[in-house]
Amino acid sequence: MQDKYYNMKFGTKAIHAGQEPDPTTGAVMTPIYQTSTYWQKSPGEHKGFEYSRGTNPTRKALEDCLAALENARYGLAFSSGMGATDAVMKLLQPGDEVITGSDLYGGSFRMFSKIFSNYGIKFHYINFANAGDITPLINDKTKLIWIETPTNPTMQIVDIEAVAAIAKAHNVLLAVDNTFASPYLQNPIDLGADIVMHSATKYLGGHSDVVMGALMLSDEALYKRLWFIYNACGATPGPMDSFLVLRGIKTLHLRMKAHCENGREIARFLKTLPAVDKIHWPGFEDHPNHAIAKRQMRDFGGMISFTLKGADLKRTFEVASRFKVFTLAESLGGVESLVNHPVSMTHASIPKEARDAVGVTDNLLRLSVGVEDIEDLLEDLKQALS
């Protein structure tokens, strides 16, 4: 859990935390323990591993590394980001209330509104621009605040420290979906959050070759409750996927630096293009939450969204199909640059009125800026948006 690397710098933890040479062979890389079950010398006498739904050595190395990256005591890996979110929601009971954002990842909104609301859990969807706005919604049934920052796809920033102070004062759990920032840019537990969630499919994996989720947290009692759900419900990842994410994380710090650099250049370049109207990127000084972003994030990341001036759906589709280096695809956080049309792709499960209310309009495109050479990315944007 907390090895000699735990208090070292980020890049060292990314490469080493949770990982020692394999005791049986000396293999430097953590082996892919492709086994479902483990030998017991006599019933109950084993090396800590019984059955791979609950524990697997490759996954364990990954979980310890994940915990170290978020300065948390515990990590839990799930078979997807939604699997991780589902486990947090299963902490709740009928009658409980949750306060969450109106500008959520589409899949989270779908799970809350179509699955858990049927189990008697009530969700309040609000704009977190002012943390103080949540206080009037809190009552003795409120058990969880679930936030995402930066939000997807409009890149709004929520003040984690301010929300955490309110959550603590009312004895409500605070969970933060930290997928967009990655642990390299932002550590919600240091700012007072109880649980951090990641879609490890994105920056942690980093190569668009695996779907996985994670929870990181420090409270032991809460960890035990979540581990029980994880093992009982079984949305846990296999050893091959665990290995891929463990391997991806070794370059997280290098990739994030490059994503941030390319993101900065592209945000500035978009400003010069006449076809572009609004640009959502928290690094601009005139971004409404720039000051909070500067305080709680180490840099501004590689996610940018923008609207096309005067474009209808047809024109937006035309532009989205013209890219040659950016690939038109869902998802984000890989080494390759992607362009996404939220209304028809990632956010199609959100009703139109709800989308329009938060600025997810027909003419919005989202970029996941990769780590290719910047000249080629700028050239591609120039030709697609001309």
Ligand X SMILES: *Cc1c(COP(=O)(O)O)cnc(C)c1O
Binding mask 212-231 for ligand X (x = CB under 6 A): -x------------------
Residue nearest to ligand X (CB): 81
Take residue 371 and report the two structure tokens written for it.
Answer: 């780590």
Q: Are 149 and 181 in contact (CB under 8 A)?
A: yes
Chain-centre distance for alpha carbon 195: 12
For 247, the token pair is 């391997």
177 binds ligand X (CB under 6 A): yes
Stretch that binds ligand X, among 176-184, 256-264, 295-303, 352-360 (CB under 6 A): 176-184
- Burial tier of 42 (Cβ tally within 10 Å: 0-12, 13-18, 19+): exposed
Could you tell me the smallest distance in angstroms from the CB atom of residue 103 to ligand X? 11
- CB nearer to ligand X: pick between 18 and 213: 213
Q: Is 179 in the site for ligand X (CB under 6 A)?
A: yes
Which residues contact residue 99 at a Cβ distance below 8 angstroms, ignoring those fewer than 6 apart?
Answer: 123, 124, 126, 134, 137, 138, 142, 144, 145, 146, 172
As measured in angstroms, the least distance from the Cβ of 108 to ligand X is 6
Distance of CA 347 to the CA centre of its chain: 16
Q: Is residue 106 part of the contact set for ligand X (CB under 6 A)?
A: no
Q: Given the residues 86, 103, 159, 177, select the one marked as catalytic.
A: 177
Q: Which is nearer to ligand X, 81 or 239 (by Cβ)? A: 81
Number of Cβ atoms within 10 Å of the Cβ of 22: 15
Q: Exposed/middle/buried for 140, CB within 10 Å: 0-12, 13-18, 19+?
A: exposed
Size of the chain in residues: 386
- Asked if 295 is an active-site residue, the reply is no
Of the residues 105, 184, 203, 223, only one is catalytic, namely 105
Cis check for the bond before 342: say yes or no (omega within 30 of 0): no
Are 131 and 162 a contacting pair, CB within 8 Å? yes
Residue 220, CA distances (Å) to 64, 144, 195, 217 in order: 14, 18, 12, 8
19, 152, 305, 368: residue in contact with ligand X (rule CB under 6 A):
152
Closer to ligand X by CB, 126 or 275: give it: 126
Q: How far is the CB of 78 from ligand X (least distance, A)?
A: 8
Q: Smallest gap, in angstroms, from Cβ of residue 132 to ligand X?
A: 25
Query: Of 17, 65, 77, 82, which lies in the binding site for ligand X, with binding defined by CB under 6 A?
Result: 82
In the list 107, 153, 239, 282, the residue contacting ligand X (rule: CB under 6 A) is 107
- Site for ligand X (CB under 6 A): how many residues? 16
Catalytic residue check, 33: no
What are the respective helix, strand and coil percentages of the chain, to the nearest 5?
40, 15, 45
Q: Which residue of the set 13, 59, 60, 202 is catalytic?
A: 202
Q: Does position 202 bind ligand X by CB under 6 A? A: yes
- HSE of 267, CA atoms in CB hemisphere, 13 A: 23
Marked catalytic residue, from 53, 110, 257, 294: 53
Collapsed DSSP state (helix, strand, coil) of residue 350 = coil
Among 97, 148, 241, 299, binds ligand X (CB under 6 A): 148
Smallest separation, CB 18 to ligand X (Å): 21
Q: Is 236 in the site for ligand X (CB under 6 A)?
A: no
The strand pair at 173-177 and 195-199 is best described as parallel
> 99 or 385, CB closer to ligand X?
99
Nearest to 217 by CA among 249, 176, 245, 184: 176
**Would you say 58 or 152 has its CB closer to ligand X?**
152
- 30 vs 59, 159, 216, 244, CA distance in Å? 10, 37, 21, 11
Rounded Cα distance between 210 and 58, Å, is 15
Q: Is 60 a catalytic residue?
A: no
Instruction: Please indicate whether residue 13 is annotated as part of the active site.
Output: no
Does the footprint of ligand X cover residue 146 (CB under 6 A)?
Answer: no
**Shortest reach from residue 309's CB to ligand X, in Å:** 27
| Binding window for ligand X (CB under 6 A); candidates: 78-86, 155-163, 254-262, 357-365 | 78-86
Binding ligand X by CB under 6 A: which of 211, 358, 367, 384?
A: 211
| Residues assigned a catalytic role | 53, 105, 177, 202
The contact set with ligand X (CB under 6 A) reads 80-82, 105, 107-108, 148, 152, 177, 179-180, 199, 201-202, 211, 213
